[in-house]
Every structure is written in C-alpha cells, then in structure tokens.
Amino acid sequence: MILKKQVNNLLNQSFRILPLNGAVFFFSVGLLSIAAISSCGKEPIKQPEPKYPIQMQSVTWDGSAIYLVKKNASVNPEVKISFSQPLDTNSAKENIKLMFNGVSSVEQNVSFIQGDSTMVLRPKSPLRFFAKYTLPIPVTVKSRAGVALDKHLTIQIRTTYNKSPKFSRISKEDLLDSVQRKTLRYFWDFAHPVSGMARERNTSGDLVTSGGTGFGIMALVAAVDRNYLTRNQVVSHLNKMSDFLWTKADQFHGAYPHWLSGSTGKTIAFSTNDDGADLVETSYLIQGLLTARNYFNQSSPEETKLRETIDSIWHRVDWYWFTKNGESNLYWHWSPNKGFVMNMQIRGWNECLITHVLAASSPTHPVAANVYHNGWARNGGMKNGRSFYGVKLPLGEDYGGPLFFAHYSFLGIDPNGLSDQYANYWEQNVNHSKINHLYCKNNPKNQAGYSDSCWGLTASDIPNSYTASSPTNDRGVITPTAALSSFPYTPDESTKALEFFYYQLGDLIWKEYGFVDAFSVGDCWAANSFLAIDQGPIIVMMENYRSGLLWKNFTAVPEVVSGMKKLGFQAPYLN
C-alpha cells in the first residue's frame, strides 16, 4: 500500500503544468522509476543499435597490441580485432582475411566474442616463416546495425624466421675454415676472366673495383697460407692482374679509378664528377699489392716478376699530386676532365688511415708529415673521448660510425700496440666494435631481431638502396661483415654472431659466396647480393684473428715501417 501511494503521488506530480513567461511546460518526475518498477521480473527493453560509424579499437597478435606493422610475428597466431560496436559476423568473415603477399588469402578459423564486437582469427595452418602478410580491415565491414567502418586500415605483418638449427654443429675452427673457403669463391671463381680483378658485386658483369680487388688480393694470400689454393695458382693469377693494372688499366698520376672495365681497363665513372682517380680506393689496392709483394718472396721467375710489377705500380702513384702540390691535405678525387672539382679532403676519423700511411711511405712521391697531422688528424680535432654504453671512444663520431672504419685500413695495418699522439688504435677499434655490439644488444629503437648474437652495423645494401648503417643511422639491417670482420677485436661477440648467422639463419643468408651482404629480420628481407668490399674483410680479418698473417706481411714492408715512423706511430713491429 505504501509503494502504491508513492507511485500515485509521482503520477500526480508528473502532470502539473507550470506557467513560465507565458509558456507551458510539462514537468515529468519519476517516469524512469515507474519504468523500472514496471519492468521488475521482466526482460529489459532492447535498445536500437547505434547508427554512427563503427570504429576499429584494437588489434592484438598473440596478445601483443599492434597498429600498422607487426614485425618478427609468430607463425601460429591468435589474432583479435576489436570494434566499437557488435559486428555483422557474415560481413566480418567475408571482408577480414589475412593475405599472403597481398594476393592469396589464408584459410582461417573465425569466432566472435564480447557480444560480437571482437573477431578472433586463427590460421588453419602455420604461416610461412620469414614472409610478408597483410591484414586488410576495409570499410565494407558492417556493424550489426548495418553501419560501415569509418576508415580502411591495412596492417603489415612480417613473420619470424625458422629458429630450428639449419646445419649440424661443427667445431669453431672448422666453421671459420668453411666461411673463409666459401667466401674466397667470390675472388677466385667469380674473378673477372680477363683482368683477374674483383667485380664490384655479383651482378656487376664487366665492372670491376680497384679497392675491392685490393681486399681480394689479401684474401688470396690467406688462401695460399691455408692451402685452399696452391701458391703457383695464386701467383699466376696475380701476375695476370698486376700486368693488367700496369699496362692496360686507366690511371691518373698513378692512381686508379674506383670502377673500371675488367676487359678494357677503361674508367667507368662512379658519379658525374668522379670519372678519374680515387686515391682512397687506390690505397686499398696498394695495401693488397704490397702485402702480396712481401708474402711471395721466393726467387722463382714468376714471383720475381710479380714483385717487380707491384713495385712499378707502387712507385707510379703520385701521392704528392693529391695535395694539390703542396697543401696540408690529401684530396680524394681528381678528374682528367674537371680536375679537383669534388674538392673532398681526406680527413679523419674514418676508413682512410691507410691512405695517409701509404702517402707518407712512398719511396717516389711522398707527402710531408704535416699532411697527416694538419689534414687527417685536424691537429687533434678527430678526437672524441666520450663514453657510450660505458665504453670510451678515443676517435671519431659519436657511437663510432659504421664498423668498416675499424676494418678497411686495418686489413694490413696491425693495431696491436699501435699508438700515436692521438690514440691507442687497438683501444679505438676494440671499443668501437664493442659500442656497435652493445647498441644492437640494447636495441634502443626496438629493431626486430637485434640481440647479443645478431648484431653488426656497417655500409651495405638495404631494401631498395644502400647506406652506411651505424647506431646513428640504424635502418634495421644487420650486415654479416660487420661482426665477422671484427673477430680480432670482439672474438666472443663475433663467435656468437657467426654461429647465429650460420646455424639459425643459414637457410636465408648462407649462399654461393658465403654470407649475403645484409638482412633485416623486421622486413623479412635478405639481400641477393655479395659485394667485394664486404666479402674481402671477412676472410682477411678472420685470418688476422687466427694467425695475424696479413698484419705480419704488410707491416714487414720496409717503406711502410719508415712511413709510419715518420708520422709518429709507435708499435712493437716498428722498432
């Protein structure tokens, strides 16, 4: 009776008319309560579906939220796609399908949860490893009320690599042998048939490279010492190559172009203004030739001839000319058509220490020591001294730059115990390598695949381009030569990388001439390319790690010893 009286009072109140400025309003109180009271014990009244556009709220892949891209994704996923409204389930099934390479749809099991507002997708079979998929969520998806999705969205999916071992375990020494042997094929089986020089890359055809050839010469010296090739085979090959360089190849004041035809020796322009001498590439070539001159020291006519031709090539290089005849700087390029128009001074710290050592060491056209101190070292301006990941970096840019800085000059120059007024060079190269490794291990940009075992940033191919990768230019691409050529500096870290590259990624990156140039776990990309300047340092620096062979032979060259002393270097081998 009390409840009925309260209801009647509410009803009476709801129809009172209140005049306000001549207007009449109905003031209703308690109708909601009446509705609630009247529905006691009955089903709630179903509200109509909203008519505003449906929105996608989230996507998860095995519980991990994603938006536009999912990298290193599992191949047996549970995918949940949540929306702001209940779905028309038939519309969702028809329009939301995981696509392989954007073309063929993946067979999938589909269910719906959370009042049909979340779609759960599970592939019927595992996805492909290291493959690209898309998950389109188009505007044709409808809500249960028939309203379309507010915007189209396509999510890029990149699946992980197959983590099962690809090869049976072998000893570390056997693995090093296997890598050196297979990588050597680039400079032996793939050498240009006319000149014997190294092609720039495996797709270069007739185009050969002067600097990469120098690296290849040092690799061939290692091959003889390891009995991969016979001494006579390599001497014959090097005689053909050196004859071509002496008599046929274009040279400009004794310096060679970066690229030339392996058949005719004519210059192939590297760029519009770079159609003549490249002094840095020439220095890599001379480094290799002088190493071979010292190693092939027997009195046979073939080895005597090789040494004489190498001397002729070495003595012809007019290093002094590249100071513009007297400046305190070496210049990288000279064009027979445009002169020093590129005007690029060779200043440190980078990969060009070998250029200054050889320029100071020349018995015929040397440069003065001030070119090294004022130009290259910038009177100390190349010093760094800051620490990164707790590791002090003596020279160069922050974080050290690409790792080839620690390799190219030091294929021949032995950094053990080497110092001058600017740095201890063993410390420089070890610390640079450690910083590169620690950057990848810490992975501040959260790049897919980076780890304690998957590391190494240097110049290489990247998807659709080429770049000098480093901690300050991190494109998510790992280059095997970076970690493998660092063996002398970071043996433990490089061993982990070698084993990871070979055993875990061997099906993707272990190919005809050893490890491919680069790969990206995040982009499901592995290069098809091999580059001379990346393959060569792998063989040479592995050999320096194992035996010090190339260091011993280059630093035994009398002219080099004199030149390094002239520049103020100190090392046990200079005494």
Q: How confident is the model at residue 37 (pLDDT cuts 50, 70, 90)?
A: very low
Give residue 159's Cα distance to chain centre.
19
Largest Cα span, the chain: 128
Sequence-distant (6+) residues with CB within 8 A of 72 are 158, 159, 160, 448, 449, 521, 522
Contact 139, 54 (CB under 8 A): no
* C-beta separation of 411 from 218 below 8 A: yes
Instruction: Classify domain 172-574 at the CATH class level.
Output: mainly alpha
CA–CA gap between residue 55 and residue 505 (Å, rounded): 40
pLDDT tens-place string over residues 467-479: 999 999 999 999 9
- The larger pLDDT score, comparing residue 357 to residue 18, is at 357
Angstrom distance (rounded) from CA 262 to CA 246: 13
In sequence order, what are the beta bridge partners of 480?
none
Please identify which residue in the block is written with the tokens 């994704």.
Answer: 73
Q: What value, to the nearest 5°, has the Cα angle with vertex 450 and ends 447 and 452?
A: 150
- The burial of 4, by beta-carbon neighbours within 10 Å (0-12 exposed, 13-18 middle, 19 or more buried), is given as exposed
- Give kind and range of the element (H or E) at residue 435: helix 425-442
Given a cut of 70, whether residue 110 has pLDDT beyond it is yes
Query: Rounded CA gap, 255 and 286, in Å?
Result: 10
Confidence of residue 465 (pLDDT cuts 50, 70, 90): very high
Helix (H, G, I), strand (E, B) or coil at 337: coil
Give me the residues paired with residue 137 across strands. 153
Tokens of 361: 């060491």
Residue 76: name the closest of 112, 119, 118, 124 by CA: 124
Which residue is listed with tokens 């507010």? 150
Binned at pLDDT 50, 70 and 90, residue 51 comes out as low
Share of the chain above pLDDT 70, in %: 91
Q: Higher pLDDT residue, 39 or 238?
A: 238
Cα of first residue to Cα of last residue in the chain, in angstroms, is 116
Tokens standing for residue 66: 């994603």
d(CA 452, CA 429): 19
Contact 211, 281 (CB under 8 A): yes
What per-residue confidence (pLDDT) applies to 101? 86
Burial of 173 (0-12, 13-18, 19+ CB in 10 A): exposed
Per-residue confidence band for 5, with pLDDT thresholds at 50, 70 and 90: very low
pLDDT beyond 70 at 117: yes
Interaxial angle between packed helices 301-316 and 231-247, expressed in degrees from 0 to 180 and rounded to the nearest 10: 40
405-442 burial code (b ≥16 CB/10 A, e <16): bbbbbbbbbbbbebbbebbbbbbbbbbbbbbbbbbbee
What is d(CA 336, CA 343) in angstroms, rounded to the nearest whole number?
14
Task: Give 181-217 pLDDT, tens digit per residue.
Answer: 999 999 999 999 999 999 999 999 999 999 999 999 9
Look-up of token digits 């070998």: 354
Angle between helices 210-225 and 172-188 (to 10 degrees): 130
| d(C-alpha 307, C-alpha 327), whole Å | 32
Q: What is the DSSP string of 1-46?
A: -HHHHHHHHHHHHHT-EEEETTEEEE---SHHHHHHHHTTTSPPPP
pLDDT of amino acid 165:
97
Res 19 pLDDT > 60: no
What pTM, to 2 d.p., does this model score? Answer: 0.89
Q: What is the pLDDT of residues 445-460, one digit of tens each?
A: 999 999 999 999 999 9
Average per-residue pLDDT in the chain? 92
User: Are the CB atoms for 485 and 537 separated by under 8 Å?
Assistant: yes
* All structural domains of the chain with their residue ranges: 2-38, 56-159, 172-574
β-pairing, 132-137 vs 99-100, is: antiparallel
Encode pLDDT of 69-97 as tens digits. Answer: 999 999 999 999 999 999 999 999 999 99
DSSP code for 383: B
In the numeric block, the tokens 């770079």 are attached to: 274
Q: 98 vs 139, 350, 569, CA distance in Å?
A: 16, 47, 62
pLDDT computed for residue 216 by the predictor: 98
Q: Which fold has domain 56-159?
A: Immunoglobulin-like (2.60.40)
One-letter amino acid identity for 475? R
pLDDT at position 202, please? 98
Q: Supply the pLDDT for residue 104.
A: 85
Are 284 and 408 in contact by the 8 Å Cβ rule? The answer is: yes
Cα(233)–Cα(21) distance, integer angstroms: 113
Q: Residue 119's beta-bridge partner residues? A: 81, 112
Query: Does 349 sit behind a cis peptide bond, omega within 30 degrees of 0 on the bond before it?
Result: yes
**Strand, helix or coil at 202?**
coil
d(CA 239, CA 193): 13
Question: Would you say residue 347 has pLDDT above 80?
Answer: yes
Q: What is the pLDDT of residue 435?
A: 98
